[in-house]
Amino acid sequence: MPELPEVETIRRGLAGPITGRTIKRIRIVDPRVVKAPGPAEFVRLVTGRRIVGLRRRGKYLCLDLEPAGHLLVHLKMSGRLLHRRLSKKAGARVPTGLGHLLLFLDDGFLLYYHDTRRFGGFHYRTDDPFPALALGPEPLDPDFSPARWRRILVGRQARIKSLLLDQQAVAGLGNIYAAEALFRAGIRPDRPAGSLSGAEAGRLYRSMRAVLKEALAAGGTSIQDYRQADGRSGLFQVSLRVYGRRGEACPCCGVPIKACREGSRTTYFCPGCQH
């Protein structure tokens, strides 16, 4: 589910409230969301640590801990990272089913992870995990230039849609925003990446950044599972132009949106607008 705009929305919502807080207590409700190390060791390592930062790289989040350690988090398809005040009433209990991993903070708030499909979860790492992730550039970074984007495309025969999904080429796009960026740029998803002209590469650079920025401003795209850290839905789903709109009239030319399988994933595009 969550792509760059969703993960960054969560980061922005959480960074202020949880920075400086100490993790008082941990409850692992479903051990499948604790990826490493084992549950007992995870609790031992993380309990009592203070959160001093929350960073994002691609679709990953990292909670930096003091005096040492990091929590690497990936939401995969259905993960939610949420934050709420706990009831102060004596004997009040955390509602069952609230989350699969609960981190009780020292200010009376709960930081918790819920993942319907259990694909995502937490890794404890001694060292900063980001340098080892082998991810491509951040598309919204100031030093991600059109020239750098062109260098990524040159000579690549992979289909452009696959390349947009390749986190080692550029980090943070997923199935929704890859389709939306290609639609806005007027480029068919099955074109070989290296076959794009300079003008097409430039259009894709601009449309990729534009759609990510607009989605971020809207708090992300909520279809099923994604929520902001305070539980609210994102709003960008109403602004999607092709994703999930098979058979609907293209907002630009009126031709029905087509869907095809690209690998094992559905790709949406307009046969009238994209060439």
Partner DNA sequence: CATGGGACCTGCCAGC
Partner DNA sequence: TGCTGGCAGGTCCCAT
Residue 224 touching DNA (CB under 7 A): yes
Between 197 and 224, whose beta carbon lies closer to DNA? 224
Contact partner, 272, from DNA, Zn ion, none, Cβ < 5-8 Å per class = Zn ion
Backbone angles phi, psi at 67, to 5 degrees: -75, -10
Q: How many Å apart are CA 24 and CA 37, to the nearest integer?
A: 19
**Among residues 25, 117, 213, 232, which is the contact residue for DNA, using CB under 7 A?**
117
**Among residues 82, 176, 212, 229, which is the contact residue for DNA, using CB under 7 A?**
176
**Among residues 12, 50, 118, 123, which is the contact residue for DNA, using CB under 7 A?**
118
Between 144 and 226, whose beta carbon lies closer to DNA? 226
The annotation status of 156 as a binding-site residue, yes or no, is: yes
Q: How many Å apart are CA 88 and CA 91, to the nearest integer?
A: 9
Contact partner, 264, from Zn ion, DNA, none, Cβ < 5-8 Å per class = DNA
Residue type, 116: T
Contact partner, 162, from Zn ion, DNA, none, Cβ < 5-8 Å per class = DNA
Binding mask 77-96 for DNA (x = CB under 7 A): xx------------------
Q: Are 269 and 179 in contact (CB under 8 A)?
A: yes
The residues assigned a catalytic role are: 2-3, 59, 265
The annotation status of 206 as a binding-site residue, yes or no, is: no
Contacts of 83 (CB under 8 A, 6+ apart): 13, 14, 17, 18, 109, 110, 111, 112, 229, 230
Looking at residue 22, what DSSP letter applies?
Answer: B
197 exposed, middle or buried (CB, 10 Å; 0-12, 13-18, 19+)? exposed
**Among residues 113, 144, 205, 226, which is the contact residue for DNA, using CB under 7 A?**
226
**What stretches of the chain adopt beta strand conformation (E)?**
23-28, 34-36, 50-57, 60-66, 70-74, 79-85, 101-105, 109-115, 121-125, 258-262, 265-269
> Which residues are annotated as part of the binding site?
117, 156
The residues binding DNA (CB under 7 A) are 1-3, 6, 32, 58-59, 74, 76-78, 116-119, 157-159, 162, 165, 167, 173-176, 220-226, 234, 263-266
